[in-house]
Structures are given as structure tokens and as C-alpha cells.
Structure 1
Amino acid sequence: MTVFARFSIIYLIFAIVTTVVLYGFSFGHLMEIGFLATDLIKYMGAGPWVMWLFPVLVYYVVRHPARISEALYGFIATIALVCAYTLMKGTIPVLVPYWADGMFAQWDLALHGGVAPWELSHRLSAYIDTDGAVRTYSGFWGAFAFSFPAFLALSDQDPARKVRFLALYALAWILIGNVIATAFSSVGPIYIDRYYGGDAFAPMIASLKDLTFPGTSVDALQTRLWEALVTDDGMNTGGAAISAFPSMHVAIAAVWAVYMTERSWFFAPVAIAFAVTILFLSVYTGWHYAVDGYASIVCVLVLYAALRQLFKK
């Protein structure tokens, strides 16, 4: 876990240097980075994820108090890693201007019989509570996304498995969320018409309004990201950055699904169901093309297989 923490801090330093090189050094820039880290600490220290991890923490404090220090390293490493990921995500429209949305929209239609996946998902709206969908996609996902390293530290006694999955977790954020996302720079269905012009996704926007998404935390974040894009090309170190492909929500949910499948077939169906739910909601809320989630799952599985082979040697 200490190696993971060092790596995450090094990546954070790299991200800070990269953004300074791209945008120049300023006190305001460094202040934004500090605010980003503070917001992450607040969320991770008092956010919804604590509600589910707290009983686990108490259990291991009693049973294995020596693991608490390792969990603390995991907590610190996660803050550094997610900060770095967010900073690098903000550079995407500067390094590679958005270009891939038309291609992904066409792929979505081709893979779903000529019907847009958002339309297929909205056909189920009568069975879905909007507040519950938002809470799951934002709060519950964050609970699992940010607690994974600490959970490994507290609960897993297999050193080799911990190393593999910490590597998978880090690669998901960096390779999938930064590198591949930059190469296939895209804004996603919710922004495509506003960014490129046209009205191809106007029916989706109207449908989201009918589903009462305006005013939810998802809608508020979508609005804030768009405002950041139009005011400063998306370069806002406070976490305001747009990137659709691949989906990090699905990628991290897939990491959990793979981990639980390897560790316990009893919990595997629950973890897989959660990943499928996040995939569905990523389309349902307008954030992502379906192919964003499909690509994330494929990437996670390929990385998982590669790491299993690597650590056999």
C-alpha cells in the first residue's frame, strides 16, 4: 500500500506540473488545486461512502487494528490519485479537441438495431425513481469508487491479490480515464448538440426534463461542467471537466465486479448487478453513449487478464 501511495503522489506531482506547463504558473491555479483536494477530502471523509465503510472499519479495528495504518495509506493515495486524474482530465480539450462524438453516436445506433440506447433506457422510466437513480449514480457509486483501496487494506489478507487490484484500480483511473479518454476526446450525449450544433439529441433532453432530472445533483453538475467548458475550454482544476469515452463510472464499478468475482462467488452477483446498473444509468442520465460503458468493461477485463499474467511471473 505504501508503494501505491507513493505512485499516486508522484502522479499528482506530474499532473500539477503538466497543468502548470499548459496554462502557466499562477497563484490562482495552485489555489484551485488546493480546493480540489479539500473537496475530495471532505467528500471522502464525510460523504456517503463512509456510511457503508464505517461498520467494516469498526469490525477490523476490533479484529485487526494493525491494518488501520495501511487503510490510512490507501485513503491518502486515493485522494492523490483522484486529484491527479481530475487535473489531467481537465487538459483533454486542450490536448485533443473533442472529435469522437459522431462516431460513438453511430456505433450506438449500429449496436442497438438503429435505436439510440438512451431511448431504450427511457422506455423503462415508469419503473425507475429519479431520485433513486441520481443517488445511485452519484452517491452510491462514489461510496464504492473512493473506498476500494481502503477496503482492500482492511479486508484482504492476500498480498498478491492486493497488489494486482491496486494496480488495476490505478490503471483504470490513469490509462482508461486519462490516456484513452484523451485519445478519444468526446463530450457525450448531454452536450453533443450544444458543442457541435444540431438537434439530434434534442428528444433526449426533452425526455430528461419529463423525467424531472432538472434540479437534481446530476443536472447541476452537467450545467457546471458546460459553463466551465465555454468559459475556459474546460480547464478548471476544481473538477469541472468533460469527458465521455470511456466511462469512469462503469470502469470503477467493473473493477469492483471483477474483484468480488475473484474473491467470493457469493457476493459476485451483487457486484456484477451494481456494475450493470451503473452502465444503465450512465446512458439513462444522458452522460454517456452505451459504447462508453462497453469499452470500459472491455478495458478493465483486458487489464485484469494482463495483470494476472504479469504477477504469475
Structure 2
Amino acid sequence: MSEIPFRDGPGPSLAPRSLVGDAPLGRRLAEFLRLNCKEQGLFLGAVLLVVAARLILLPGAVEMMAWSITQSLRPFVGAWALAICGYLAIRTLRSGSISKSFDYLWAEVFTWRNAAVAVPALVAAALLMNSFSHFKSAIPTFNPYGLDALFRDADRYLHFGTDPWRWLDAVLGYGTATVILDRVYYLWFFAVYLSMGLVMGLPDKFGIRHQFMLTYVLIWGVLGIIFATALSSVGPIFYDLAYGGPSSFTELIRNLEAVNATWGLNTLQVREVLWGSYVNDIDTVISGISAMPSIHNAMCVLFFLAARHINRWLAAAAAVFALIIFVGSVHLGWHYAIDAYASAFGVALLWKLAGLLTGNAAARRAVAPLHVAEPARP
């Protein structure tokens, strides 16, 4: 939707548009389906494929989905609410009038058109994340962990015969920098949900909405499920637990434990929860172990690719965030460095593919507001 300029003088009315409208229900439903197929049909179709695969391949899928879907939906709803508040705040700063900002909120956000695509997208995203967690927990069932030694050796080969975490140890040490990285690393979840809340819940002003969302589902479905299962691995932080120590990662874990004794690290708490879920065969919305490829790093690359189409300063911030997450993923032991390299390459391809599938020219043009014909007034 094109940007609507602020007006200081008289102008067209920005009265709230009805979310339901006066059109007959059947016509409104047909318009709802047409609009979703046009604006996000590939995204919704890809999510349905993931959910269908889950129902076919994973036992207990319906039961798990029934009790956990609200847990998956809640963060997206909260992110949408935050996005709307941020949208309102920015409009208020630009216009200097909170009442005028609410007028534009009604004119652009609380509309039939925006709600008709935002609500299905939010539900689909929640189903995707819920299904991903179940698939991630099932990775060793389909393909037992066994490629970590290969990835460790490949990491050493690419980094001059040394484990990458040792290069970072020489620069950062294990102390204050570890604590900072540990705290920032888990802001990634906030970034993921907020970005989706912004993209799914607000009007598409930059022409990348469908491309972003389709890349999003491809990252979780292709990289996070298919390739993660084919390249089944646990990562450095679980290496000794999975294969028996000591190993070249034993010292890394001791360093983390030393910092944890003084400061307390989220990393070791999450490690304990994930390993406990694995050995006790418990499926939850936060269970599952997988290293290659890195979804943490993959999503950061997606943020950067999308930010380039919005603002250069936002792109620079996304690049810095991606670098921090990459350093943290290696320093904290979650990933081999090549997990991130593989993810970056994969996301670049998926972003390009999503652009081709959604149609770059169509995606970049300004989308006209949806007008549903209403009965003529006397």
C-alpha cells in the first residue's frame, strides 16, 4: 500500500473503514479467499505442506498441536500488538498529533483488507513454528546424530587447523564478553517474532511482504526440517554428551561453566532443558537439538536481505546483529562456524527463489486498497 501523506489542512476524510462492511457474507468470503491467494497464497500453501507432512509422518501430531498451538500463537499476537503500537508511535512523532495518528491507524491498519491477510498469516506462522518444533524433536528418529566429527574436521580445515571457538577465545576470552553475548543471543527470538508481527500485521509499504514470508517458511521447512534431518548433528555444546568425552570441546564447556558459576548463563540452562527433553523423549515447543544448518544465523541473513529494501541504516543494524549472533553461536558452543556459512548460502538462494515465485515486479508495485462495492446510497 502506498504511503499516505500527512495533511495539515483540509483533505479527504480518514474516517474508520468497516472491518466487516455491508457486502453479503458470501461475497465477502469470496473476496477474502481471493485476497489471500493473491497476497500470500504461496506462503499459506507452503505452511499447509509442512503441517500436512507433520500429520502424516509424526505420531501424536494432532494431540500435540491441540495442547500447544496457543503457546505458539501467543508470541505472534503479542508481536502484532507491539508492531501496531510502534506504528502508532512513529506516526505520532511525524505528525505531532496523536488523534491524527489514530485516524491513519484506522485508515491503514484496522481495515478489512489488512485484517483479512494478517489474521490468516499469524495463524499460519504459529502452525509452522509448532510443526517445526515437533519435527526438530524427531530428527534423531529419522536420522540418528552422527555427522558432528565431519563438521568439526571441516571447521578446522577452513580455519587453518584450529576450532573456530578457540580463535574467538583468543580475542574475547571467557568472561564479560561471554555474558554479553549470552544475553544478546536470546534477543534473537524477540527479533524473529517482532519482524513477523511487523511484516504480517501491517500494510506492505516496501513490496517485500510475500517474498519475506515465503522465505521465512522455506527457511524453517527446507533448512530447519529437511536439511537439518539429512545433516543430523548436535553441535559443540552437546558433543561430549552425545559422543562421550573428552573432546576438543570439553574445554569450551568448562569455560562456559566457569562463567556460569559467577554470572549465570542462559545458554547452560537451555542446554540442560534441551538435553533433558532429548534423553527423556519429551516433545515440547522448545525441545529438539539440531546444529547444521543454523536457523539462528539463517534468520539474521533474512533480516539483512529484507532490511536492504527498507533503509540503509536498518540494513547496517541487521548486519551488526547478524555478526553478533554468528559470533555468539560459535563462542557459546551452539554451532560450528560452517553451520552459519551453509545457512547464509541457503538463505540467499531461498530469498532469490521466493522473489521469483512471488514475482518481483508485482511485489514491488504499490498495492491499491481493497474496495468492496457497497449499495448506492439515496
Common fold, TM-score beyond 0.5? Answer: yes
Q: Which residue of 2 aligns with 1:121?
A: 168
Moved more, 198-207 or 51-60: 51-60
Matched, 1:93 2:140: yes
Tell me how far 1:181 sits from its aligned partner: 0.5
Q: Which residue of 1 aligns with 2:241?
A: 194
| Structure 2 CA distance for partners of 1:33 and 1:260, relative to 1, 3 Å | same
Q: Distance in 1 between matches of 2:223 and 2:212?
A: 15
Tell me how far 1:50 sits from its aligned partner: 6.9
Matched, 1:55 2:99: no
Alignment of 1:225-240 (within 5 A): 225-232=274-281, 236-240=283-287
Q: Which residue of 1 aligns with 2:13?
A: none
Moved more, 287-296 or 56-65: 56-65
Moved more, 86-95 or 208-217: 208-217
3-state SS of 1:273 partner: helix
Residue deviations 1:96-141, cap 9 Å, x none? Answer: 1111100111111111122211122233147845454233211x21
Q: Which residue of 1 aligns with 2:18?
A: none
Tell me how far 1:10 sits from its aligned partner: 4.8
Which structure has the highest helix share of the two?
A: 1
Give the one of 272, 295, 299 matched to 1:223. 272
Tell me how far 1:190 sits from its aligned partner: 0.7
Q: Which residue of 1 aligns with 2:223?
A: 176
Moved more, 79-88 or 29-38: 29-38
| Partners of 2:228 and 2:292 within 8 A in 1 | yes
Flag structure 1 segments of 5+ consecutive residues without an equivalent: none
| Partners of 1:12 and 1:80 within 8 A in 2 | yes
| Partners of 1:177 and 1:246 within 8 A in 2 | yes
Alignment of 1:1-313 (within 5 A): 3=41, 4-5=43-44, 7-20=46-59, 25=60, 30-46=62-78, 53-58=83-88, 59=91, 61=105, 64-65=108-109, 66=111, 67-123=114-170, 124-125=172-173, 128-138=176-186, 140-153=187-200, 154-159=202-207, 161-200=208-247, 201-212=249-260, 215-232=264-281, 236-310=283-357, 311=359
Aligned length: 300
Q: Distance in 1 between matches of 2:345 and 2:322?
A: 13
Q: Distance in 2 between matches of 1:127 and 1:271?
A: 25
Tell me how far 1:144 sits from its aligned partner: 1.9
Q: Distance in 2 between matches of 1:36 and 1:125?
A: 40
Could you tell me which amino acid in structure 2 is paired with residue 134 of structure 1?
D
Computing the radius of gyration from Cα coordinates, the structure with the larger value is 2
Flag structure 2 segments of 5+ consecutive residues without an equivalent: 1-38, 92-103, 362-378
Tell me how far 1:9 sits from its aligned partner: 4.3
| Structure 2 CA distance for partners of 1:301 and 1:84, relative to 1, 3 Å | same
Could you tell me which amino acid in structure 2 is paired with residue 223 of structure 1?
E
| Structure 2 CA distance for partners of 1:268 and 1:198, relative to 1, 3 Å | same
**Identity percentage of aligned residues:** 26
| Partners of 1:247 and 1:296 within 8 A in 2 | yes
Could you tell me which amino acid in structure 2 is paired with residue 55 of structure 1?
C
Q: Distance in 1 between matches of 2:213 and 2:48?
A: 14
| Partners of 2:174 and 2:259 within 8 A in 1 | no
Residue deviations 1:35-72, cap 9 Å, x none? Answer: 432332344445xx579635334357356122355333
TM-score (norm 1): 0.85
